[in-house]
């Protein structure tokens, strides 16, 4: 009667969504102040003031038929120029506005890129821990996603990757700063990955694309350096979103940038345009395209996240938990004191703590803690973490 696979995707709630719903019920029963929800990745920092100013400016202009009208499918030319100029300024890479395609957020960017690349029999790789929707997006194109097992320090497991790449590997997705680990891959790791892919490209005689999913690019701490992949490798497609840097996740605005050095870059870009068309993406929301003219260079406000990160990391390690110190994004991975992260997450619920079991991210034995929450909630949650830890000491 209808597609079974789609039905399964729509009826099986994600673990994260389950936790979120549980939290709502708990809050209704026990009071909202008794629930410490660390489950979601919804930015807690408001959009910078320039976003509102820019929306105001746009809606005060006389021609609403232009503002709210269709843009070209690949996006407003002026906006694509502004995005290209920003990339050049920040990363010292010449990208062409004509190789930029504005998207309805990073999820759309990934789906379009995978659909544009995928041929019969193709597979894609990603590194655990990883954002679980990669599986959904890849399989929707008919391709398989191969997950490179994680290393305990969340660095890239290149030895395992080398074994998983074969002649049908079309691309490798990387996500740095990483959701869920908060890791940022070092320049050394990136160089090693690019060397590996370069060798494999030669061996198999076709490009293996590096697909960089980077919505957290600007959310980094302690001045850590995030290598820009186009500077290290030719066959690169960047998938970006303003969801986190401008705190606009609900407005769905992002882009795909094809590296001008990618083999047949122009033809690949056409395939991107075609995939966007086939998936029903007529254009990215036009008002939010236009505000990028004012906001592309707006700095992300990371101070609040950094404050949360410091408090959480130091408090949890002090309590006795083992944590991976995040360098970016707004997630922290904590090792669970028992091997089964699901059991640990269930036990945490008794203390009002909503922590996502790592299994869904390819990180068994860990929970993900989203700290895009209020500082106050973290402070109030610490006794609960302490009490939870104590149950493992008996």
With CB under 8 A as the contact rule, the residue among 176, 247, 360, 370 that binds a second copy is 247
Q: How far is CA 129 from the centre of its chain?
A: 12
Is residue 277 a contact residue for a second copy (CB under 8 A)? yes
Contact between 106 and 243 under an 8 Å Cβ cutoff? The reply is yes
Distance separating alpha carbons of residues 249 and 370, to the nearest angstrom = 15
Q: Is 9 near a second copy (CB under 8 A)?
A: yes
User: What is the spatial distance between Cα 163 and Cα 256, in angstroms, rounded to a whole number?
Assistant: 29
Contact indicator for 272, 257 with CB cutoff of 8 Å: no
- Which of residues 270, 297, 317, 343 is near a second copy by CB under 8 A? 270
In which element (H, E) is residue 148 found?
strand 144-148
* Interaction pattern, residues 28-57, with a second copy; x per rule: CB under 8 A: ------------x-xxxxxx---xx--xx-
CB of 312 to a second copy, least distance (A): 19
The tokens for 350 are: 């008794």
State the maximum Cα–Cα separation within the chain, in Å, rounded to a whole number. 69
- Which C-beta is closer to a second copy: that of 203 or that of 267? 267
* CB closer to a second copy out of 52 and 310: 52
Q: Which two tokens stand for residue 129?
A: 């821990």
Is 38:369 a contact under the CB 8 Å cutoff? yes
Our finding on whether 320 is near a second copy (CB under 8 A) is no
Least distance from a second copy to the Cβ atom of residue 362, Å: 19
Question: Which CB atom, from 73 or from 85, has the smaller least distance to a second copy?
Answer: 73
- Residues 281 and 112: beta-carbon distance below 8 Å: yes
Segment contacting a second copy by CB under 8 A, of 132-140, 145-153, 223-231, 296-304:
132-140
- Extended strands (E) in 69-122: 100-103
Size of the site for a second copy (CB under 8 A): 80
Give the footprint of a second copy on residues 327-386 (CB under 8 A). none
71 binds a second copy (CB under 8 A): yes
* 283 binding a second copy? (CB under 8 A): yes
Provide CB contacts within 8 A for 339, sequence distance 6+: 364, 365
Q: Is 59 in the site for a second copy (CB under 8 A)?
A: yes
Contact pattern for a second copy over residues 93 through 122, marking x by CB under 8 A: -----------xx-xxxxxx--xxxxx---
């Amino acid at each position: 009667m209808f597609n079974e696979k789609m039905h399964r995707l729509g009826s099986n709630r994600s673990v994260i969504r389950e936790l979120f719903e549980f939290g709502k019920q708990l809050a209704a029963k026990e009071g909202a102040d008794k629930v410490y929800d660390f489950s979601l990745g919804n930015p807690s920092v408001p959009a910078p003031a320039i976003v509102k100013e820019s929306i105001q400016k746009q809606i005060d202009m006389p021609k609403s038929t232009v503002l709210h009208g269709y843009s070209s499918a690949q996006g407003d030319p002026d906006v694509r120029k502004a995005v290209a100029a920003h990339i050049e300024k920040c990363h010292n890479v010449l990208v062409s506005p004509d190789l930029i395609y504005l998207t309805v957020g990073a999820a759309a960017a990934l789906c379009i890129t995978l659909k544009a690349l995928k041929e019969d029999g193709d597979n894609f790789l990603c590194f655990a821990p990883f954002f679980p929707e990669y599986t959904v997006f890849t399989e929707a194109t008919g391709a398989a996603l191969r997950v490179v097992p994680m290393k305990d320090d969340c660095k890239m497991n290149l030895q395992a990757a080398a074994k998983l790449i074969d002649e049908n590997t079309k691309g490798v997705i990387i996500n740095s700063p990483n959701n869920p680990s908060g890791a940022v891959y070092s320049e050394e790791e990136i160089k090693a990955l690019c060397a590996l892919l370069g060798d494999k490209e030669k061996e198999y005689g076709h490009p293996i694309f590096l697909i960089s999913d980077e919505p957290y690019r600007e959310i980094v701490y302690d001045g850590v350096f995030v290598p820009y992949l186009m500077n290290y490798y030719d066959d690169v497609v960047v998938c970006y979103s303003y969801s986190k840097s401008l705190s606009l996740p609900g407005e769905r605005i992002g882009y795909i940038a094809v590296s001008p050095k990618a083999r047949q870059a122009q033809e690949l870009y056409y395939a991107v345009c075609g995939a966007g068309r086939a998936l029903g993406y007529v254009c990215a929301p036009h008002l939010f395209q236009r505000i990028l003219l004012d906001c592309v260079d707006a700095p992300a406000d990371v101070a609040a996240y950094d404050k949360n990160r410091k408090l959480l990391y130091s408090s949890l390690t002090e309590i006795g938990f083992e944590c991976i110190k995040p360098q970016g994004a707004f997630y922290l991975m904590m090792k669970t004191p028992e091997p089964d992260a699901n059991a640990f997450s269930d036990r945490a619920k008794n203390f009002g703590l909503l922590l996502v079991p790592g299994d869904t991210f390819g990180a068994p034995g860990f929970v993900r803690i989203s700290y895009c929450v209020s500082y106050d909630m973290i402070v109030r949650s610490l006794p609960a973490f302490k009490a939870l830890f104590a149950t493992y000491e008996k």
